[in-house]
Amino acid sequence: MPSELQPLSDALIAVMASRRKSVVPEGDEHVSVRRALCELLPIWPIGFLIFAVLGTIYMGLATPTEAAGLGVTAELAQRTYSQWVGDGSERDGDAEWPALLRRARRLSPGFED
């Protein structure tokens, strides 16, 4: 956010918090680090994917083309992991190999050669 807009944003948040007390958490509520990390657990795969692409470029470990390949590999690994281990859905832990192979054939027709 540009530095010129930061005071405006802060003022808007202060006004909204003073008018709508329901959006402000209670002051005596304590959140442990463990609980905070557990609540953030669903978004860790996104951070991992961003690091796999942008982090490797910024660290000089990969070119943009190589980082794109890393991003695809990381996403495929995350989806495969979530299919094996599960994500809390009713089909938790079911590996759908036929669907995974159909997707791989569609995306890369020569991968079985």
Interval 88-97: pLDDT, tens: 555 544 556 6
pLDDT values of the chain reduced to their tens digit, one per residue, 113 residues:
567 888 888 888 888 888 887 777 777 777 788 888 888 887 888 888 999 999 999 999 999 999 999 999 998 888 877 766 655 555 544 556 666 677 677 777 665 65
The pTM assigned to this predicted structure is 0.49
Decide if 74 is inside a domain: yes
Which pLDDT does position 36 carry in this prediction? 82
Q: How many domains does the chain have?
A: 1
Is 71 part of any domain? Answer: yes
- Has residue 40 been placed in a domain? yes
75: containing domain: 31-107
Q: Identify residue 77 by its one-letter amino acid code.
A: A
Residue with tokens 């657990």: 41
20 within a domain of the structure (yes/no): no
Going from the C-alpha of 15 to that of each of 7, 38, 70, 78, 113, the distances in angstroms are 12, 31, 44, 41, 63
* 99 domain-assigned: yes
Sequence-distant (6+) residues with CB within 8 A of 54 are: 67
Task: Establish if 46 belongs to a structural domain.
Answer: yes
| Residue 65: C-alpha distances to residues 50, 53, 106, 108 (Å) | 15, 10, 21, 17
